[in-house]
Amino acid sequence: MPYRPFEKQNCSIADALAVVGERWTLLVMREVLLGSRRFAEIRRNTGVAPNILSDRLNTLVEQGLLRRRLYREHPESHEYHPTAKGADLGPVLIALMQWGDKYAAGPAGPPRVIVHAACHHDAAPRLHCSHCGEPLRTGEIEVRPGPGADPVRETPLATA
């Protein structure tokens, strides 16, 4: 699908969705961030149709989330590696996974468990305040207009 910006949203969530909001895109990024590098691996692990996968990979390269590297010349084949911008999507995927584990996992439980590689223990990553270190909980978060807010967004928003 062609890139379609969310007109007049003045919202970083809308801007992010313009890049990663297409169906299959986050699953493609999941695979690359978990170490799948080649088209066939990504396709096998996601089940996405080849034409859609090709489109998503091209978009992710164009948007600077992935870097394409030639690994075979005849026939020409590429690997896909995350850029720093793509790697920064990792925490977003973890948060989405945790939400899915809580609200969408089947009766057997989550299909994957996050493990902290440094200590080899199961982990439950959480958001923390960068100032005081306290966990950020729903109901304790406020949003204020930022430097890029348009006049419509300059009024304070409700507590989340």
Ranges of residues in the chain with a pLDDT under 70 are 1-5, 152-160
CA distance 155 to 114: 38
pLDDT of residue 151: 77
| Global confidence as pTM | 0.86
pLDDT of residue 1: 47
Category of 126 on φ-ψ map: left (φ > 0), alpha (ψ -120 to 50) or beta: beta
Q: What is the mean pLDDT of the chain?
A: 91
- Domains defined for the chain, CATH in brackets: 1-88 (1.10.10.10)
pLDDT of residue 25: 98
pLDDT of residue 159: 55
Q: Please give the angle made by the CA atoms of 81, 87 and 90, to the nearest 5 degrees.
A: 125
Q: Where are the alpha helices (DSSP H) in the chain?
A: 12-20, 25-33, 39-46, 50-62, 84-87, 90-103
Residue type at 8 in one-letter notation: K
> How many residues in the chain?
160
Q: What is the pLDDT of residues 124-144, one digit of tens each?
A: 989 999 999 999 988 899 988
Q: Retrieve residue 150's tokens.
A: 């348009």
